[in-house]
Structure 1
Amino acid sequence: MSEFQHPRPFDAAEDLAASHNGPILSTSFLSIDNLFMNFLEEHRVPGLVWGLVDGGGLIHHGAYGVSESASTHGLSKDSVFRIASMTKSFTALCVLLLRDQHKLSLDDPIGDWITELRFDPQLDQIETPITIRHLLSMSSGLVEDDPWADRQLALSPEVFQAMLSNGIGLDLRPSTAFEYSNLGYAMLGLIATRAAGVSLADMAAENIFSPLAMASTTWDLQTMDSDRLVAGHSLCDNQWVLEPSLADGAFGPMGGLGSTIEDLARWVTLHLNAWSEQTPRASLAIRPSTLREMADIHRVMAHPRMTDPDVTAQGYGYGLMIAHHRRLGRIVGHSGGLPGFGSRMEWLPDYGVGLVALANRTYAPLSDVVRRGLEYLVEQGFVTTPTREPSQDLQRIYLAVNASYQDPENYQSIRDVALATYLLDRDDDRRPPNFTTLRDHYGRLLSVGPIIATGKLRGSWTLDCEHGSFTVHAMLGPTLPHKLQFLQIVKDSRSEVG
């Protein structure tokens, strides 16, 4: 053991690239660095590495502290940490790739693949068979098992299979609620191995690690240069205690991977680009739609610790956690915690940016500082949502509405682009919006803003007039040719008239 000391000074990292969000992002690096440095000292962490990521890769990183408490060996973007439950996202993608290859179905009962599996005979008859989908989405009914499962990483396949044949109990009825299960992801690893005919490690290497050039990501840490391996620590009575590094085993699919900031940046970039309409599809055997499927909420989490009033929904996808936030939009990510390590990766698909952080202290609570970093980038305007090119259909509506405002007596321009249902029930004089009334209130049109498209069939724009401004919200119908279904006028609070 060694006495706790503050780590050595910050080892400044180079800025690797300009973000697609613009060069202004570089001015935010110091503030992000300060967030993480303050975290390290507040939480007494031996070492910490973090990375800022966009659709082009790692754009900035920081490394602070030491790899091992009794040494002066520093950290870098190439330092290999155990990433714990962040592993689940890789296991989930392997299972989904097997689904895409028609080698399994997510609705297969797990007993079809794990024939030796037995359940507690005292359980009531399970009316809903547990499926692969249930395991992926943490809705199998298996009990939460972090304190037990974290020590099972090195369990041999033979002992694991004997454990399953000896009997497993359930906490909840399958498909009724979220409950986090590491055992479920160990089972997924076994299912994937049997469906693929090769080990999960070999499948991940061929389909994910090698194509993405993630050369430092592995379940077998013995293959890595020992100088790059980071030691895990716990703090006991103000003394650092080194945690033993557990070997790869049957529970590796739930939390056994080792990786680096640089490799994980490539992983986050892959997921960010799956949501980008501007980014061409990479030459990988991974469908962008499969990556987006991972980041959908498949099981809602009624989480008592969810206290952020801006989070409107939270749930588990496939190997990823998802939240919907009033200001940040969709948030995707996962935490990791093992004896000796804590980690967090999180990205904002709407803004095309993400943060990853790795620490070498048991269960280092990185979620809050990572979220604060992303909030800072958005709130300060360092990142913005990409502009969607408006469809030709939206542009037709745009021109027609603007023409009707300029000449309220000529309603024909709206009639030409509207669905019949829009024109029913009320005559022109009583149908909102009444362009004559609008023109009387707001006066002569001065300028028209661009269309802000939220989809191919939805958009809004602002008209600036003599006496104020208002915003037009338009929604087109589903049938071809697309015509106007709904139109709403929202006044600018700064306008002179209501």
Structure 2
Amino acid sequence: MKNLTVPFLAILIALAFSACQPTAKLSEDKIESTSGEYTVPYFEDTARVSKIIKYTSVVDSIFARSAKLNHNPAIAYGIVVDNKLVYANSVGYSNIEKKIPATSKTRFRIASMTKSFTAMAILKLRDAGKLQLSDAASLYIPEMKNLKYPTTDALPISIFNLLTMSAGFPEDNPWGDRQLSDTDEDLLRLMKEGVSFSNTPGAEFEYSNLGYALLGKIIANVSGKSYQQYVTENILLPLNMNDCGYEYETMPADQVAVGYRWEDQQWKPEELLKDGSYASMGGMICTIEDFAKYMSFLLSVTPSTNQEEVGPVKRSSAREMQQPWKFTVLAPKRKARNGEPCPATGSYGFGLGWRIDCSGRITVSHSGGLPGFGSVYQLFPDLGIGVVAFSNLTYASMGVPVSQVVDTLIVLADLKKRAIPVSPTLKRMQEDLMKALLTWENQYDHLFAENFFPDKSKDRWQKETADLFANIGAIKNVSAMRPENLLRGTFTIAGEKGELNVFFTLTPDTKPKIQELDIFVKE
């Protein structure tokens, strides 16, 4: 197997220095006709869910060990597979004093995991034509018009900047957490009096709770409703997330987890912060069972389909949230859990973190932390799986046990990416290409794009392929295509003495032609 570390580093560097910009408002015209080439990718293993369930005792042991090691009063957790909650469990007490066990129905404050709901609400307003991501935030919060920027060449903060945490505000985790119960007046007063910038807008990613508080205010001003009401009516209720909300005082007390900190070798209750103007950055309270419904929706939008829209936002908008919009980190020395080098790069989407590692595994996730609480959820769109965990310990680091659970399940259940069906055009081109490779007669010239023979002459192709075929001997079998997408893929030619891999990619013409071809000995 080829060593992927060096070429992957090149990819990481390219990603690190690429810049993503907000797109113009998309047309509301619905796509009515399709090419007929697309078939939805699918998981070949029909027993994948039962395999995962088989190893839930291992999952339980990981969380139980983590709770004991890190003094978590409770951890509630769940596994979502193929758009449904397939397993949920918990360990410990949601209320130590009253000895109330935590369950999948216990309501925990999920802190910054709230942010993706805020991003989704912004995109819903965008899709309705109420705003554009490239708009200056001051169009909707006039109090921001007189901000003093670091330089004269800075662009005013846009909604896109707020979504991607690139507004130039300083990292504000310790400070921002304590602003949760501030009033709208407090937030607007801060804007009127001015803020300090650490960077010019758009220059860099820097984690900003303030930015997401401002997004909440934009949602309220544009919709004419409070942020909490808009999210509840337009996201939570459509997903039947009936046990999620923002104000703990409106919830049954015995169903709300008490937050604790571990200090002086004992658990000490933390004051539960009230709802306020910073709700959009970290105020949501939710259960594992309800949050799994949200995770299921986010996972359901991959891959693309021709089905009717049934979610709180368009599937394309939910996929848009899960893209790497703003580069955050390059980790060339990162190692996998087995100790092998596995570089990774990270970016921030819209209310969601995004990472890809040397194996090509994409993780979409967000953590949350507040006094008394810590949480995380990780989604793996290519694998159709997600894991979530809530805890009632101050800034509990739930990423470690959740990552251990995911890595364990991927190995033990042998989880694979979806199979991509071969498009009619790709299959037809493979059949015609096989005929051309054997003779290179003029009757097959129409298969190749205008660049093909100028890039390498037909005589050269004929000589090189003849040598390759001679080396593998008489042809015994030609495999099916292994597509990368609708217009690119690889197949294998098996001979008596060896095998050849044949890769080709097609042009964007109405009648696609071969623009690139690579034939090499299979190792």
Q: Tell me the TM-score normalised to structure 1 length.
A: 0.89
Q: 2:370 aligns with which of 334, 338, 343?
A: 338
* Residue 5 of structure 1: aligned partner: none
Question: How many matched pairs?
Answer: 474
Aligned AA (2:445): R
1:153 to 158, 180, 188: 180
Q: Is the 8 A contact 1:342 1:364 kept in 2?
A: yes
Residue of structure 1 in register with 2:296 after alignment:
269
How much identity, in percent, do the aligned residues show? 30
Structure 1 pair 441/381, CA: closer, same or farther in 2 (3 Å)? farther
8 Å Cα contact 2:301/2:318 also seen in 1: yes
Write the distance in 2 (CA, Å) between the matches of 1:305 and 1:45.
32
1:49–1:414 distance in 2 versus 1, CA, 3 Å: farther
2:83 corresponds in structure 1 to 56
CA displacement 1:29-83 (0-9 Å, x = unmatched): 2322222222112211111011111233111122111112234311111111100
In 1: Cα distance, 2:515 partner to 2:410 partner: 33
Query: Is 1:86 equivalent to 2:116 in the alignment?
Result: no
Q: What CA distance in whole angstroms lies between the structure 1 residues aligned with 2:487 and 2:159?
A: 36
Partner of 1:397: 429
CA distance in 2, matches of 1:122, 1:460: 52
Report the aligned-residue RMSD: 2.3
Relative to structure 1, is the Cα distance of residues 19 and 172 closer, same or farther in structure 2, using a 3 angstrom cutoff?
A: farther
Q: Is the 8 A contact 1:25 1:383 kept in 2?
A: no
Partner of 1:442: 472
Aligned to 1:25: 52
Alpha-carbon distance change, 411 to 329 in structure 1, aligned in 2, over 3 angstroms: farther
Q: Is the 8 A contact 2:440 2:458 kept in 1?
A: no
Selected match of 2:347 from 315, 318, 335: 315
**Counterpart in 2 of 1:15?**
none
SS in 2 for 1:222: helix
Q: Counterpart in 2 of 1:7?
A: none
**SS of match in other structure, 1:240:** strand
Query: Would the aligned equivalents of 1:324 and 1:331 in 2 still touch at CA under 8 Å?
Result: yes
> Once the 2 structures are TM-superposed, how far is the Cα of residue 433 of structure 1 from its aligned partner?
8.3
The residue number in structure 2 matching 1:44 is 71
Question: Could you say which residue in structure 1 is the equivalent of 2:439?
Answer: 409
* Greater CA drift, 164-173 or 425-434: 425-434
**CA distance in structure 2 between the aligned counterparts of 1:20 and 1:164, rounded to whole angstroms:** 55
> What residue is the counterpart of 2:32 in the other structure?
none
Q: CA deviation at 1:439?
A: 1.9
Specify the code of the residue in structure 2 equivalent to 1:357: A
**2:297·2:311 contact (CA, 8 Å) conserved in 1?**
no
Find out whether 1:291 has 2:318 as its counterpart.
yes
In structure 2, how many angstroms separate the alpha carbons of the residues matched to 1:176 and 1:88?
Answer: 21
- Seen in structure 2, the aligned counterparts of structure 1 residues 352 and 306 have a Cα distance that, compared at 3 Å, is farther
Q: Could you tell me how far 1:361 is from its partner in structure 2? A: 0.6
Residue 13 of structure 1 is matched in structure 2 by none
Asked if the contact 2:241–2:293 (Cα under 8 Å) also holds between the matched residues in 1, the reply is yes
- Tell me by how many angstroms 1:242 deviates: 0.6
Question: Is the Cα–Cα contact under 8 Å of residues 77 and 262 in structure 1 kept in the other structure?
Answer: yes
2:268 maps to a residue whose letter is V
What residue ranges of structure 2 are gaps of 5+ in the alignment? 1-44, 336-340
Asked if the contact 1:82–1:257 (Cα under 8 Å) also holds between the matched residues in 2, the reply is yes
Q: CA deviation at 1:121?
A: 5.2
Give the Cα separation in 2 of the matches to 1:397 and 1:31: 47
Alignment-derived partner of residue 482 in structure 1: 512
CA distance in 1: counterparts of 2:286 and 2:327, whole angstroms? 29
TM value normalised by structure 2: 0.85
1:191 pairs with 2:223: no
Q: Tell me which residue corresponds to 2:402.
A: 370
What secondary structure does 2:218 align onto? helix
Q: Deviations over 1:264-298 (max 9, x none)?
A: 11111111111124683442351111111111111
Q: 1:127: Cα distance to partner? A: 2.7
Alignment of 1:80-479 (within 5 A): 80-117=107-144, 123-125=150-152, 127-277=154-304, 280-302=307-329, 307-308=334-335, 309-380=341-412, 382-404=414-436, 408-409=438-439, 411=441, 414-431=444-461, 434-479=464-509
Q: Tell me if the contact between 1:109 and 1:130 (Cα under 8 Å) persists in the aligned partners.
A: yes
Q: Is the 8 A contact 1:336 1:343 kept in 2?
A: yes
Q: Displacement, 1:400?
A: 2.4
Contact in 1 for aligned 2:115/2:280 (Cα 8 Å)? yes
Q: Which amino acid aligns with 2:394?
A: T
Rate the CA distance shift 1:287–1:54 in 2: closer, same or farther, 3 A. Answer: same
Classify the secondary structure of the residue corresponding to 1:474. strand
Match of 1:6 in 2: none
- What letter corresponds to residue 87 of structure 2 in structure 1? H
Aligned 8 A contact 2:81 2:384 in 1: yes
Unaligned runs of 5+ in 1: 1-17, 494-498
Following superposition, the deviation at residue 444 of structure 1 comes to 2.3
Distance 1:146 1:391 in 2: 48
